Structure 1
Amino acid sequence: MTPEANSLTGTDDPTLGPPPGCPAHCSPPDGRRRLYGPEAEDLGAVYEKLRAEHGSVAPALLHDDVPIWVVLGHGENLHMVSTPSQYSRDTRLWNKLQDGTFKPDNPLMPHIAWQPICCHAEGDEHLRLRGAVTGAMSTINFRGIRRSINRYTQQLVNEFCEEGEADLVSQFAEHLPMAVMCEILGMPEEYNDRIVHAARDMLKGTETAIASNAYIMEALTGLTSRRRAHPQDDFTSHLINHPARLNDEEVSQHLRVVLIAAYEATTNLLANVLRVVLTNPGFRAQLKGGQMTVPEAVEQSLWDEPPFSTQLAYFAKQDTELGGQRIRKGDGLLFGIAPGNVDPRVRPDLTANMQGNRSHLAFGGGPHECPGQDTGRAIADVGVDALLARLPDIQLNCEEHELRWRSSISTRHLVELPVRFEPKEKEKLEPRPLGRPVPAQREGGKATPPSPKSEAAAPARSASASAEPPARPGLLRRVLLWMSGR
């Protein structure tokens, strides 16, 4: 594969030379280190230099030399994301946006531009929007979803199993999350190569990214209209029917956040887990020998190579102090997921197995903790397990040092993962079950009773399915526990 063209924040094209007078190739002001450009081709090394120079919170520069704090310490990151009285995700509070230092044409503007979504909301509005999202998430039938993940895995493997070789990034990791998320949202018919390409195009920031975003929003807006008129038993219908009463724009914008965030995070997670399985003999031996399960392997990957390296951004609501640094009201702070995960105070030995330890920062924390983490884990757990069961002799088809990455300030994405195996015959696939209708708009927090016709048309769940306990504590319960101070 060739390097990605017009990458929003990428650093993977060594052929591009600096334009005359390019600020990225001049000495940065105040001796701060840049988190972009040639200096930041290895951001992991930059973070460690910043840690050595400044400690757990360090001054740095974003694109166009916009100042920001980067939070490197594990404890400092947890404090920041868990203290909404001091730090907010409302980008309108950023002093560099207010005074014009961060300009509208900054390539990071898509990450910063304020939207009326729960990610940027606070207080009662955050509770309303977030409550609708987590409420809809709580309706997901994980037994059925895990069956779907296995079915889509078999479908994807069928497409290359007879060849004896494949690229597990472009032919597997970039497709499985989108197929599953389209089913969860209630648009399985929308899953195809075009929507996968559009999602990847948006995230790369190419010259066609705006058109790709428009295509995805058109699909989600149409889905919102269809489900408003004809609800089904899917995430979108439950989001619409939630007592928070989101309007159509709020519904479609939240669908976009859920779809794209889940897609990017899970694509990276799948690729990273498979890379470690294929390149680390000890890791694979532990899986085969039963000393480690696939879910435990996923958690180890979330420590070592989190799907998002950092997150833009949190903003100080008042003058405060963090990690020994004086933080002024309106200052921006980068949530340092990857550097926080390797904080020597919590991981003095980076080679040590983190089995059973879920205190990594991969899914954030506090009121903005990722609401879809259980879905992402399920896709990685079932997908990797099913792939390895189907192709037990799979091997990396290149040297490990030949693997290439596309890096940005927010992610480190594996470009390709070529593999080889003994050709296998295609397997017969389990048919996809049809969706079920659900009651129309709720009134006063209670579902309107279904009509006799729709009730008769909807197949009843088996007693075993309705009584099945969730695989993990419900996310909504965890959010409520956190809010109550537990």
Structure 2
Amino acid sequence: MGSGGLVRLFGPEYEADPMRVFEELRAKHGAVAPVLLTGDLPAWLVLGYRENLDVLRTPGRFSHDSRLWHQLKEGKVPPDSPILPVIGWRPDCLSADGEEHRRLRDAIIESLGRFDRRGIRRYVTRFANQLIDDFAADGHAELLAQYAEQLPMFVLTQLFGMPEEAAPRMVEATTELVKGSEKAIASNEYIRDVLGELVAHKRAAPGADLASWLISHDAGLSDDEILNHLWLVLIAANENTTSLMASTLRMVLTDPRFRASLAGGYMTLPDAVEQVLWDKPPTIVLPARWATGDTELAGQSIKAGDMLLPGLAAGNVDSEIRPDLEVPMHGNGSHLSFGGGPHECPGREIARAIADTAVDTLLMRLPDLQLAVPESKLSWRTTTWIRYLRALPVKFEPRRPEPLTSAGPSQRPSPRPAAEGSVPQDMSTASASTAPVSESGARPSWWKSLKRWLRRR
């Protein structure tokens, strides 16, 4: 409990079982409950499904612009607050509404839309096999650290036009940032420094990647706007996809009905991913919205400048829309896990593609995969915003790594010819000046300098 008896969305009680905290708040306050964030900053947690949609779909009442926050205006938020990197205003589509939001969102939607989904899945398969090769001969692995936390960032760095060497350090930095740890501010500065270098490089040497497409988009984005949209995609996609992969793998390994359904063809992996998005959403609380004026929500008096937190996990289990939580939700995509309204996650299909391809590849390579510990020994890592497994130890029959081919798991796939002016179908197809490795085998100077920079950090 916090000051005035309010519940804190941080600390041991919340981290141990956030869903229990949500249900206790729902029982006491209804669909909207007063809570405290780190630093005992007040906010309203939205618990009801319909109330969440109301907040998410009406930016005229509930804006994503944190400059409206009266706590910030009154100087009550310290500049080193660990929640500021997550909720602070930035020149991106999340912080904007109206025409400015449409301009910025169109740029990110259209740029992400240029990626070929088959090309993304080839990337996922390539890096998945590469990671599996690292532990296949051992007969055991810790799938969170060795697989789920690594794979999304390897794919994202490729989509961004970055070298593979950047991925491990970026995994560490994004984890610290989202945890809101004492390293959050420094980690955020590091990520922004790397992305700033990327934007500068791509202005000079554009390629077939997200950074280059944002630069050339008709919206005329500034370097600061480009950097902040890359930051947004990187943080949201990496953390959410990591959690989604881990939760789907846990379900595969611990629920015999699920494994039997999957093996019998009654449930596809996309179905399984959808079920996880209902029951174990990667983002449990979404940062954040601010009331544009005095209003009322579910009987609570909301003042102008109050912070509202869409409780996605709580909304997904609201008894008004899910009276029986045991009923499967296959084929029902109306969950809140990707948000909703004009700010709904633009990369949701990419996240799904990475997650289901990664799980499918792992099960194909290691079909006898099983937990190495009792399910009761699994524990969860919880922050104000996200929740996923701390570790997922598994065992299996040792296997030799996959043999290398010209497009094998440890090599860059061969480029395919593309029509004049078209986007390559294979996402690794880029000019030698922008690919991580050129035809001569030499890396461009920017990649060398970034590698040296990463080593110094």
TM-score under structure 2 normalisation?
Answer: 0.87
Equivalent-residue separation in structure 2 for 1:328 and 1:181 (angstroms): 40
- Asked if the contact 2:82–2:182 (Cα under 8 Å) also holds between the matched residues in 1, the reply is no
Equivalent-residue separation in structure 1 for 2:126 and 2:329 (angstroms): 31
Q: Structure 1 residues 318, 459: CA separation in 2 closer, same or farther (over 3 Å shift)?
A: closer
1:421 aligns with 2:401: no
1:318 aligns with 2:293: yes
Aligned residue for 2:384, secondary structure, equals coil
Structure 2 equivalent of residue 363 of structure 1: 338
1:349 CA displacement: 1.2
Pairing partner for 2:9 from 27, 35, 42: 35
1:139 CA displacement: 0.5
Equivalent-residue separation in structure 2 for 1:328 and 1:460 (angstroms): 51
Equivalent-residue separation in structure 1 for 2:188 and 2:38 (angstroms): 22
Using the TM superposition, name which of 52-61 and 99-108 deviates more.
99-108
1:301 aligns with 2:281: no
Aligned residue for 1:393, secondary structure, equals coil
Equivalent-residue separation in structure 1 for 2:37 and 2:309 (angstroms): 10
- Asked if the contact 2:382–2:388 (Cα under 8 Å) also holds between the matched residues in 1, the reply is yes
Deviations 1:219-274 (A, max 9, x none): 22222122212221111111111011112122122111111210011001000100
1:192 CA displacement: 4.0
Unaligned runs of 5+ in 2: 427-457
- Asked if the contact 2:61–2:293 (Cα under 8 Å) also holds between the matched residues in 1, the reply is yes
1:372 CA displacement: 0.5
- Asked if the contact 2:10–2:384 (Cα under 8 Å) also holds between the matched residues in 1, the reply is yes
Pairing partner for 1:432 from 404, 412, 426: 412
| One-letter identity of the residue aligned with 1:59 | P
Deviations 1:304-339 (A, max 9, x none): 110110012111112222112222221111110000
Pairing partner for 2:234 from 234, 248, 259: 259
- Asked if the contact 2:61–2:291 (Cα under 8 Å) also holds between the matched residues in 1, the reply is yes
Structure 2 equivalent of residue 235 of structure 1: 210
Deviations 1:15-60 (A, max 9, x none): xxxxxxxxx6xx631x332222344242211111111111111122
| One-letter identity of the residue aligned with 1:135 | E
Equivalent-residue separation in structure 1 for 2:353 and 2:303 (angstroms): 41
Equivalent-residue separation in structure 2 for 1:269 and 1:237 (angstroms): 28
Structure 2 equivalent of residue 248 of structure 1: 223
Structure 2 equivalent of residue 14 of structure 1: none
1:210 CA displacement: 3.7
1:217 CA displacement: 2.4
TM-score under structure 1 normalisation?
Answer: 0.82
Q: Structure 1 residues 433, 196: CA separation in 2 closer, same or farther (over 3 Å shift)?
A: same
Q: Structure 1 residues 116, 380: CA separation in 2 closer, same or farther (over 3 Å shift)?
A: same
| One-letter identity of the residue aligned with 2:43 | I
Structure 1 equivalent of residue 430 of structure 2: none
Pairing partner for 1:289 from 261, 264, 286: 264
Equivalent-residue separation in structure 2 for 1:392 and 1:201 (angstroms): 33
Pairing partner for 2:74 from 99, 118, 128: 99
- Asked if the contact 1:233–1:436 (Cα under 8 Å) also holds between the matched residues in 2, the reply is no
| One-letter identity of the residue aligned with 2:7 | R
Deviations 1:371-400 (A, max 9, x none): 110000000111101100110000000011
Equivalent-residue separation in structure 1 for 2:183 and 2:7 (angstroms): 31
1:279 CA displacement: 0.9
- Asked if the contact 2:178–2:383 (Cα under 8 Å) also holds between the matched residues in 1, the reply is no
Unaligned runs of 5+ in 1: 1-23, 439-453, 463-486
